[in-house]
């Protein structure tokens, strides 16, 4: 269920709209279109346009600060409170006197993280809601899965499994849609899951996969290494790291990881494929 304007204070003031009233750059035009989308409650479009405008450059300092505040409101509406905190911090760096940004930041900090439900006790792994969200993700219905995981996060803000599930859904959507913005949301969610529970190898593997899709070799290999440190008997993780090492030019590391993977599981298809490509000089 989508959050309403009144729940998160989404309505944009006349002053905010006037700030970008005289757009003369592509980034300013995108920011204006984002404000229109936000006013209509179209949060995904607003987030995508604001993110692109911030990346593109061309915004004045005041417009850039406003863009961070507006995107923070979008994140609050979509229950991405950890991302909202980051944007509000950026806004206050640009303008420490922004009362709206300070008020939003204070509202997010009213319930200290230490007092929130624990990642372990929050949601039963066998709960129908969580199983339904996982089924949607496995069926590649990523938009529906994201909504389902968001509902869980709305009722249990510190459930690592829900952040992981939503992050994987965003990551898959980003891969198929070739959208770095979706991938960024996936990385943020899985990173938050790791912060809540740093002892799950699958969390690091999932983040490594997204980093590899974004061609961030160092981060991907670091994530796979963290997963292996937690579980050194999983052949697939060695094979994943070998694949990344091969693509990123570390032939020695790839050879060692292929050997480790095949020692654990001689039938591992990914390790055999990496080995074959290396033998063929690919």
Burial bucket for residue 138 (CB in 10 Å: 0-12, 13-18, 19+): exposed
Same domain, 20 and 102: yes
Residue 127 has pLDDT above 70, yes or no: yes
* Segment 49-75 mean pLDDT: 80
Confidence class of residue 6 from pLDDT cuts 50, 70 and 90?
A: very low
For 63-109, the pLDDT digits (tens) are: 888 888 888 888 777 777 777 888 888 888 888 888 888 888 888 77
Share of the chain above pLDDT 90, in %: 36
Long-range Cβ pairs for the range 128-133 (8 Å, 24+): 130/161, 130/162, 130/165, 133/162, 133/165
Q: What is the CATH number of the domain that holds 20?
A: 1.25.40.10
Write down the pLDDT at residue 126.
67
Instruction: Look at residues 60, 87, 112 and tell me which one is the last residue of a structural domain.
Output: 112
Same domain, 15 and 104: yes
Q: What is the CATH number of the domain that holds 184?
A: 1.25.40
* Segment 28-57 mean pLDDT: 72
Q: Packing angle between helix 269-279 and helix 251-264, nearest 10 degrees? A: 140
Same domain, 108 and 9: yes
Residue 258 has pLDDT above 90, yes or no: yes
Domain assignment of residue 59, given as a range: 5-112
Write down the pLDDT at residue 29.
65
Same domain, 18 and 92: yes
Write down the pLDDT at residue 216.
93
Same domain, 91 and 38: yes
Instruction: Look at residues 112, 144, 164 and tell me which one is the last residue of a structural domain.
Output: 112
Same domain, 53 and 83: yes
Burial bucket for residue 47 (CB in 10 Å: 0-12, 13-18, 19+): buried
Same domain, 173 and 203: no
Q: Residue 231 in contact with residue 260, Cβ under 8 Å?
A: no
Total domains present in the chain: 3
pTM of the model: 0.61
Distant-in-sequence, close-in-space partners of 156: CB < 8 Å, separation ≥ 6: 117, 122, 123, 162
Same domain, 33 and 95: yes
Residue (of 174, 160, 262) closest to 202 by Cα position: 160
* Segment 34-49 mean pLDDT: 72
Write down the pLDDT at residue 12.
36
Residue (of 162, 233, 231) closest to 202 by Cα position: 231
Write down the pLDDT at residue 116.
36
Confidence class of residue 227 from pLDDT cuts 50, 70 and 90?
A: very high
* Ramachandran bin of 126, using left for φ above 0, alpha for ψ from -120 to 50, beta for the remaining angles: alpha
Residue 8 has pLDDT above 50, yes or no: no
* Least confident stretch, 25-29, 133-137, 142-146: 25-29
Same domain, 57 and 98: yes
Same domain, 71 and 35: yes
Instruction: Look at residues 168, 193, 218 and tell me which one is the last residue of a structural domain.
Output: 193
- CA-CA distances (angstroms) from residue 82 to 21, 200, 221, 240? 30, 20, 25, 29
């Amino acid at each position: 269920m989508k959050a309403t304007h009144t729940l998160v204070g989404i309505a944009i003031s006349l002053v905010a709209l006037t700030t970008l009233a005289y757009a003369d750059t592509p980034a300013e035009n995108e920011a204006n279109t984002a404000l229109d989308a936000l006013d209509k409650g179209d949060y995904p479009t607003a987030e995508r346009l604001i993110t692109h405008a911030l990346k593109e450059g061309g915004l004045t300092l005041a417009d850039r600060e406003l863009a961070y505040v507006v995107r923070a409101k979008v994140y609050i509406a979509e229950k991405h409170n950890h991302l909202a905190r980051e944007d509000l911090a950026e806004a206050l760096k640009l303008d420490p006197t922004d009362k709206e940004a300070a008020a939003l930041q204070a509202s997010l900090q009213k319930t200290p993280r230490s007092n929130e439900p624990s990642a372990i006790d929050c949601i039963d792994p066998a709960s129908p809601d969580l199983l339904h969200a996982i089924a949607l993700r496995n069926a590649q219905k990523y938009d529906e899965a994201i909504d389902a995981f968001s509902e869980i996060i709305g009722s249990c803000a510190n459930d690592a499994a829900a952040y992981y599930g939503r992050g994987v859904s965003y990551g898959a959507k980003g891969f198929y849609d070739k959208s770095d913005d979706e991938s960024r949301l996936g990385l943020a969610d899985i990173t938050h899951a790791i912060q809540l529970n740093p002892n799950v190898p699958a969390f690091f593997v999932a983040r490594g996969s997204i980093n590899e899709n974004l061609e961030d070799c160092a981060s991907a290999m670091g994530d796979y290494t963290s997963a292996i440190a937690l579980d050194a008997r999983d052949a697939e993780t060695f094979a994943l790291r070998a694949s990344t090492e091969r693509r990123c030019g570390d032939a020695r590391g790839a050879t060692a990881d292929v050997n480790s993977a095949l020692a654990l599981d001689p039938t591992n298809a990914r390790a055999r494929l990496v080995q074959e490509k290396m033998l063929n000089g690919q």
